[in-house]
Each structure stands twice: as structure tokens, then as C-alpha cells.
Structure 1
Amino acid sequence: METAGTAEAAPPPGLRERKKQRTRDALLRAALELFTTVGYERTTVDGIAEAVGVSQRTFFRYFPGKEEAAFAVQDMVEAHFVEALRARPPHEAPLEALRQAVLEGWDTISDAVLSVVPVELYLRMFCTIESTPVLLAAQLRRAAETEEQVARLLAAREGLDADTDPRPRLLVALFGGAMRVTGRQWSAGPDLSLEAIRTLTAAYLDQVGPALTGNWRTTRP
């Protein structure tokens, strides 16, 4: 009969949390690998759990479903961007603050992503989202929610009321559109590196002002 003196002690809270984090990271990596190789629609929760050697129930402890796993790293990247925007100097104009937050985010996000999955896998998942209709629809829905958050953040930063002044939402919609064009051009190109998307992001954002105010015609009518 086991006595109190010989009973196995429960792992300390810190160790327990690290174990949970390792399980979540393993499930996330397995999910992204399957999504990017087998395809999102053909990947099942059972398949993800089996790849890690855990039960389907364990998967649902960490993710409500496949969609949440598919966007987990992107959610982290977007949260990183929002925090970078909050930290921009107050003297910067709104568009410049957005531009610097996203460019500096590309400079620093690799370490944050690497703590969960290889950057190369995150970039492959980006392409999978763009080429999978159900994920692309989910991405647009999620983007609208993020854009509302960012618009309200910009409004507060500039001392505006986002419900009566249209400028924050207009600017964020423009910025979000530019970022989507950048992502699609990058995912269709030959260089799928992090440096390539950062360079393309800078180049496209630099075109926003001229595109809005310039005359595009090469010949006069």
C-alpha cells in the first residue's frame, strides 16, 4: 500500500505549463505540416492528433477547431504588429506609424515565430491560406476584425472618435488592401523568403501615396 511518504509528487506548476506549451506547439506544427502538404480540406483533427501521438480530445483542449490552428501563428504575428503600432512615437503621422510597425515587425517576428514553428513553415502556410477558398474567406473575416481594432487604436492615438471621423477606418482599409496585394504578389513569385516579403512590403507601401495623388497616364489624351 502506497503511503504519503512514497506517493509521486505532482510536477511543479512551471513544469506543467511548459509541458502544455510543448504539446500545443507540437500540435500546431503537425497541423501546419499537414495543411501545407496534404491540404486543409483533407486534413482531419484525428490526423493531426495521431501525428503527435495524442487523442482528439487533447487537440480540442488547445484549439477549438482546424481553423484556429490554421491561423494560430498569423494571429500571433498580427498581435505583434498591433503592439509595435502601440509603441510607435506619437509624432509620426498615422500612415508612417503603420508602415514602420509592419516593417519593423518583419525584422523581429522571425524570433517570435521560431519559438513556435519554423519560419519557412509559417511562410508556406501563408501561401496555403491564399490558395484555399475556405481559408481565404476566413482570413478576410479575421482581417476585418483586426482592421477595426487598428482603426480604433489609430483614432485613440490621434485623439479622434472613430465612430464620427471616417479617416482611421479609411486609412486602415487602404493599408490592409496594400498588405493583401503584397501578400498575393509575394506568394505568386519565385522567392518565398522572409526577406522577399519584407522588401516587397516596403516597395508597395512606398507606392501608396503616389498611387493616390499621382497622374498615372504615360501619354496625354
Structure 2
Amino acid sequence: MTGLRERKKQRTRDALIRAAHELFITQGYEATTVDQIAEAVEVSQRTFFRYFTNKEEVALFVQGMVTGRFQEAFRTRPIDEHPMESLRHTLDATWDGLSLAIGEIVPLELHMKMWQVIEMTPALVTANLRLSLVMEEKLAMEIARRTGVDIDRDPRPRVLVAAFAGVMSAAGRQVGLCGDASLETARRVTNAYVDHLGPALSADWSRDHGSCTV
């Protein structure tokens, strides 16, 4: 059971995240200062830096939590499952319960608006890409371990993960362009994009495989 002190620290952390996201949404990421975030929660700048290294970290905290849940779920998939099937099943499993996990930190509506800010802010796009590259390498290493291949000699784990991550990124940009996207919209668009990965690589392009617009 989480102790009182830990719960208090978590409440302060979550309050800083909520305040930061509200400021990023209303006045922009670049225009927001650490002092403003701390002031909104009535804590000192020093307190802010006990929890976060910089604005970038607080902006991407929830995204990092979601990424962590995906990685953890992937490690629990059956070891004899095809890697692409594992990635897809992990995606489905991660969506389940995601609204509750996010809602424990920030209101879901606030998270979706922040998602749009991330997709439209160059500094955050770059930072999120760095985090994604770290996740991709971890997934590729896990696939190599599960399939028994040498990742330094066999490029397939990294190729598969790069293709999957590229599709996820494209779906994220599409959702970010929507003015009133919901988590359900994000799930629908992301799943549709992933469903199109196979056809995009191998199917007859003369046939329309359907729309996956927001």
C-alpha cells in the first residue's frame, strides 16, 4: 500500500502536470515558464525541479507512462507468437484501461488537447521522437530475444519495429490535426492505420482499402 508521504508526492506531481498542460494549451509551450507552472500549484520552482528536469519532461510525462504500459504489456505476450501479432495484440491491450490510467493523472479531455499541442510544437515533436527511438530499440531487442535472432546480424527486429512505430506516428499526427479528438477517436484511427500496414506493404494498390480519416 502506498504510504501517506508517497501519496502526497504523487498529488503534487499530478497537480504540476495538470497545471503545466493547462498553461501549454492556453498560452503555448514556448511561452510557458517553469515559474508559471509552479505558481499555478502554489509551490516553489525548487519543488518543481524535485519532480521534473524541465518543461519537456512534464509535457511528455503522460506519453511516457503510456509508452511504459505498452512495453510492459508486450513483454507478457506469448513467446511463440509472431512479433507482428504481439505488437498488434499489445496495442489492443494497452488501449483497454488507458482512459482510467490517464485519468488518474490528468482529465482525459486535457490529455487529448495536450496530445494536439505535442503534435503541433516542433520542440515537443523532436523530444517525443527521441523517446520513441528509445522505445523502438527496446522493443527490437525484446523481439530479437524472443525469436532467438542476433539483432546485430539480422535487421528484421528493427525493421519491423520501425515500420510499426512509423504507422503509430502517422496515426498520432492525424489525431493531432483533429480539433476535438477523443481517446476513442485516437483508438479508432490508430487501429485503422495499423490495419493498413500489411496492405500498404503487399496488397494491390489499384483497390481502395477504405478510409481511416478522423
TM-score for the superposition, normalised by structure 1: 0.89
- Structure 1 unmatched runs, 5+: 1-12
Partner of 2:210: none
1:104-161 superposed Cα distances (whole Å, 9 cap, x missing partner)? 2112211111111112111111110110011111111211111111111111111122
Partner of 1:3: none
Q: Does 2:53 correspond to 1:64?
A: yes
The CA deviation at 1:84 is: 0.9
> Would you say the 8 A contact 2:120–2:176 is kept in 1?
no
TM-score for the superposition, normalised by structure 2: 0.92
CA distance in 2, matches of 1:30, 1:189: 23
Which of 41, 65, 76 matches 2:65?
A: 76
Partner of 2:130: 141
Q: Does 2:18 correspond to 1:29?
A: yes
Letter in 2 for 1:100: H
The CA deviation at 1:92 is: 2.0
Partner of 2:211: none
* Percent identical: 56
CA distance in 2, matches of 1:80, 1:207: 24
1:14-63 superposed Cα distances (whole Å, 9 cap, x missing partner)? 21111111111111111111111111000000000000000000000000
Q: Does 2:208 correspond to 1:211?
A: no
- Structure 2 unmatched runs, 5+: 208-214
Across the two proteins, how many residue pairs are aligned to each other? 206
CA distance in 2, matches of 1:85, 1:94: 10
Which of 89, 106, 117 matches 1:100?
A: 89
Q: Which runs of 4+ in 1 moved over 3 A?
A: none
Alignment of 1:139-178 (within 5 A): 139-178=128-167
Alignment of 1:3-14 (within 5 A): 14=3
> Would you say the 8 A contact 1:103–1:201 is kept in 2?
no
CA distance in 2, matches of 1:190, 1:67: 23
> Would you say the 8 A contact 2:140–2:157 is kept in 1?
yes
Which of 105, 112, 130 matches 2:119?
A: 130
CA distance in 1, matches of 2:61, 2:81: 30
The CA deviation at 1:191 is: 4.8
